[in-house]
Structure 1
């Protein structure tokens, strides 16, 4: 029998922007522009003998240069859950953008998992081109390369069991190696979409996010998420959606138990997809 994990979403920041800046081709939708609220999460998984993170949030100083600000230090959020930096055994990096890898240097005992296609992309010949150079910091790329050289990185070429009860696979789309992570949780299966779908609206209505590497892969990822979301006993959790905080129980300030649903989510109208 595989391990079962508790799964918590830890919210370290919140922001507000315009829908037209978050959704590709929004001006073609004939809908008025409006505010889009964004929550910034990383995820804590605990089993009997493993403490795992999926992503780790952005670095305070580097993110501030982009106009992003930390509401709660990630280490403080972990402390609220009874976890110290040295307790982290493993960090699964869903993709290599700054808000998902910014704090990898905080966990001295951790090993890391990343899609090989993601590593090849951020270390490849076009990594210094815009917008890649904006979302993938040189300092973070160097840390990944150094940790890989030290043997702390494991690379996924296909679907793989990272640890018993923890599967990951690349779907691409947002980045070449954007991964989904599926967890055998105490309540069933939890799928962390991370930025394969920042908001549930993306896969519910086929409304693509504004930044992507490959649009076809992005849509194919949405199809996978819809299929997973329709599977009995499986919960799909989008990566930046404020509705997460309204759907799941808050067990500590800004810490949400993804195995404890307190209100069913309001699903966006699928008719929009068919009408475009």
Structure 2
């Protein structure tokens, strides 16, 4: 049976965080948030994560920008054929983002989908680099040129992007329209790129002060901890989720009988 959940650092972390038969998950830039100077000023930038289809080769997606010809479902299927970027960091980190993409053999024109987990500037500050990509920012899905399509995403209905790849509605931090990306079946289990649903490992006593809706965010945190094996937070290193087994009452009774 599933029991209490605890979190712990993910040891041996490299940019290549996890792989599955369909996707590789890489943390291109680790987010941070730290006090700056006197008062309450904070210097921060958001984590940037790349979800790369295993079948993709460099440059192959530049000729397949998503279109609306087949409706939303087809547009989403086309959008995940190439590199998928989850958040873009702030505009002040533009060059660092371009360099990190280049190290993976990805040019801005290769990216076919950018998911913005929420609308804060340190998470979507570089959208302008990806003019050929479809954009899913919070709950708004649009194709290049600004054509917006309906999709039905809500807390009870995830948005299926591909085999083992989903977008969940995870409201709270930035309001009611925050999202997270879920990658199932990887070498580390289920990886959830959570935006600021989790600021960092060990944020239990601090996230509420930054939340627009703490009740909704608590619900989102619990949902993620219920399925994730690894969480990529908005402002820190990825961390592992460990579930401790709880024995059933009848098993404990049997053990007591055996002991006597």
Deviation at 1:177, TM superposition (A): 0.9
1:225 is the counterpart of 2:189: no
Contact 2:31 2:48 in 1 (8 A): no
What is the total number of aligned residue pairs between the two structures? 191
The alpha carbon displacement at 1:6 in A equals: 0.6
Equivalences for residues 132-147 of structure 1 within 5 A: none
Aligned pair 1:113/2:136, yes or no? yes
Deviation, structure 1 residue 200: 2.3
Cα RMSD, aligned residues only? 3.5
- Provide closer, same or farther for how the CA distance between residues 219 and 76 of structure 1 changes in structure 2, counting only shifts above 3 A: same
CA shift, 1:183, in A, is 1.0
Q: Which moved more, 1:182-191 or 1:9-18?
A: 9-18
User: Quick one: distance in 2 between partners of 1:85 and 1:91?
Assistant: 11
CA shift for structure 1 position 112: 1.3
Q: Is 1:193 matched up with 2:194? A: yes
Quick one: distance in 2 between partners of 1:78 and 1:198? 23
- The match for 1:167 is 166
Aligned to 1:16: 34
Aligned-partner SS, 2:47: strand
User: How far apart, CA to CA, are the structure 2 residues paired with 1:21 and 1:223?
Assistant: 29
Quote the Cα distance in structure 1 between the aligned partners of 2:185 and 2:40.
34
Residues 118-158 of structure 1 show CA distances to partners (whole Å, capped at 9, x for unaligned) of x5xxxxxxxxxxxxxxxxxxxxxxxx99x687326665522
Q: Which has the higher helix share?
A: 1
Change (3 A) 1:151 1:163: farther
How much has 1:164 moved relative to structure 2? 3.4
The aligned runs of 1:1-276 (5 Å cut-off) are 4-11=22-29, 14=32, 16-17=34-35, 40-47=46-53, 48-49=55-56, 50-60=82-92, 70=93, 73-116=96-139, 150-151=146-147, 155-158=151-154, 159-175=158-174, 176-184=176-184, 186-187=186-187, 188-202=189-203, 205=204, 207-229=206-228, 234-241=229-236, 243-244=237-238
Shift of 1:172: 0.7
Q: Matches of 1:106 and 1:153 in 2, distance apart?
A: 21
8 A Cα contact 1:56 1:100, kept in partner? yes
Structure 1 segments unaligned to the other structure (5+ residues): 23-35, 61-69, 120-143, 248-263, 267-276
Structure 1 residue 208: Cα displacement: 2.7
CA distance in 1, matches of 2:145, 2:210: 30
Contact 2:164–2:184, Cα closer than 8 Å, also in 1: yes
Return closer, same or farther for 1:165/1:109 CA change in 2, 3 Å cut-off. Answer: farther
5+ long unaligned stretches in structure 2? 1-19, 57-81, 243-260
The TM-score with structure 1 as length reference comes to: 0.58
Q: Decide which structure has the larger Cα Rg and report it.
A: 2
The alpha-carbon deviation at position 111 of structure 1 amounts to 0.5
- Secondary structure of the 1:174 match is coil
Offset at 1:92?
A: 1.2
